[in-house]
Structure 1
């Protein structure tokens, strides 16, 4: 493992679809090419750890596994950062004006007295506020990314989390990380549970058990089951959670929260995730509308024979029966293995 600290001299490549970058870091012992998912701008000071690798085209590189961005008050670094294009409305010329005016106090001015940026020629009070907001948001987002990386969250997913919650994510992760599984596509129970374990959430937490129930129902849906009987749901969730619990208590809470639906079928309680229940109910209602609104008609053998001769096909007995049923019913289901004539 290699440790490196220095200024980002250049960003050679920045992916348009992720946080992947190729950067050049200038340290005390020279320039180093580093690659990885990094949220940083030119001129910023980075402390990183990574693995030395060799690229056939680009030679020796450091593949970054973790990093921290330090705030530097060096005038040259501030000038590079502000002029890198990271802040909308500031180019290299404007960055030079700002640093010439405020020197190594530039970031202090931006954070604490942003209205003073209007003292610089070409910056209005509105522009000064925009610069303050951009610098503040970038710093908050970077802090959030680094915080999430400690819990194994990829930078792409971390960006989605931050964009939804903003700075509130710190409180959410420490109190109820399972909220991520409910709100964000790509964050499932497993990821949320891993984060919860690292931040010290108890295994019998109410949030954890409810999220575990939802997870079991979603896994059942992936196997084609939109609901589970209550005993199966409990046994599977206990297996996943590794803790026994009173399922009735939590199901009542989840009913009130409208996260599930319980239906009694032939004396057995079946539990649906509310999403799957609503989808299944909607499909059933639409099928009934099609069936009840269908104008039925009949097809006899003479019609079928004329059709056969016209398209140069021969229907077997089951296919002829299916065609007649389809004409007389608004909805029907045709099943059969490969090669049994369903398409015909």
Structure 2
């Protein structure tokens, strides 16, 4: 992280935002000169008017010129009247547009955000804001606050902003609970997070090194790694040996966890297959998708083998 550049500035406007992955193109005022800078990257939760501290890299785009690619960021709630007005009027909260933001800030001044946070019922003091709209504003503020809390927590355990966005999109308000209590779920559920990233997060939130969840995730990771070498399964003994080496835990724990994975059909299938060159049968362990693929393939081959000769009568004279 040490080679990342740091950029601080006020988010002036969001030019483009992708709701699915949090990718954003925005313009930032750094306070150095009149020109706004372009920043791109995952900025889920950031709103115009906020002061941002961004870590990332400078790049030059052939069409758009110099821009800053954000990898992580933290927000500082605006403290100035102008910042608060822009922050509230940015569309952050459903029900508040620029005109209503103007009225609220006019009424409460620099205390505006604290009022919304701690005494939202007082918003009815603002001309033109009835109880119904006041309630909507309070609920939307809580939702926005939840997103920020999740993002701050995830960044605190070493998750990059782009991965944090994916986690939030998957689990919403349950993100903190999942990351704290079941971090190895991330490897299975969230695209772009593998065992090694989940393991790093688990370490950061204090999951024990010899946790059964860690051993199970490690076994599945060892199997998925072997598929890169073209294997559909691994002999049980080899898998246990690979997992022990990877996880640096006792063999007994790995054996027990493999038995649990196979018994519950939680991602692995264990069955006897013929040994190499007709030798003794070996116990093979498959990831479920690969086991299904092999069954399907063999079933199709058998179907072709048992098909009647007239099935392709036009080709009967071909010597295959």
Counterpart residue number, 1:264? 272
Contact in 1 for aligned 2:240/2:255 (Cα 8 Å): no
Which residue does 2:12 correspond to in 1?
9
The change in CA–CA distance for 1:271 and 1:56 in structure 2 (over 3 A counts) is closer
Structure 1 distance, partners of 2:112, 2:256, is 57
Q: Please, what TM-score do these two structures have when normalized by structure 1?
A: 0.72
Instruction: Give the counterpart of 1:19 among 23, 38, 62.
Output: 23
Structure 1 residue 197: deviation in Å? 3.9
Distance 1:121 1:257 in 2: 61
Name which of structure 1's ranges 75-84 and 120-129 shifts more when overlaid on structure 2.
Answer: 120-129
Task: Find the residue that maps to 2:106 and give its secondary structure.
Answer: helix
> 1-side partners of 2:125 and 2:294: how far apart?
63
Q: State the 1:86 CA deviation.
A: 2.5
TM-score scaled by length of structure 2: 0.76
Q: Does 2:256 correspond to 1:249?
A: yes
CA distance in 2, matches of 1:62, 1:297: 66
Alignment of structure 1 residues 302-313 onto 2, 5 Å: 307=314
Larger radius of gyration: 1
8 Å CA contact 1:52–1:61 kept in 2: the answer is yes
Deviates more, 1:17-26 or 1:59-68: 59-68
The 3 A distance-change label for structure 1 pair 149 and 268 is: same
Q: Do the aligned partners of 1:35 and 1:62 also contact (CA within 8 Å) in 2?
A: yes
Structure 2, gaps ≥5 residues long: 275-280
Q: 1:317 is matched with which residue?
A: 319
1:332 counterpart residue number: none
Structure 1 gaps of 5+ residues are: 309-313, 319-344
The aligned runs of 1:105-124 (5 Å cut-off) are 105-124=111-130
Higher relative contact order (CA 8 A, sep 6+): 2
CA distance in 2, matches of 1:271, 1:54: 49
Q: 2:13 touches 2:48 (CA, 8 Å); kept in 1? A: yes
User: Residues 285-326 of structure 1, C-alpha deviation per residue, up to 9 Å, x if partnerless?
Assistant: 97599689x9x65449xx96xx48xxxxx96422xxxxxxxx
Name the count of aligned residue pairs: 306
Cα separation, 1, equivalents of 2:66 and 2:284: 59
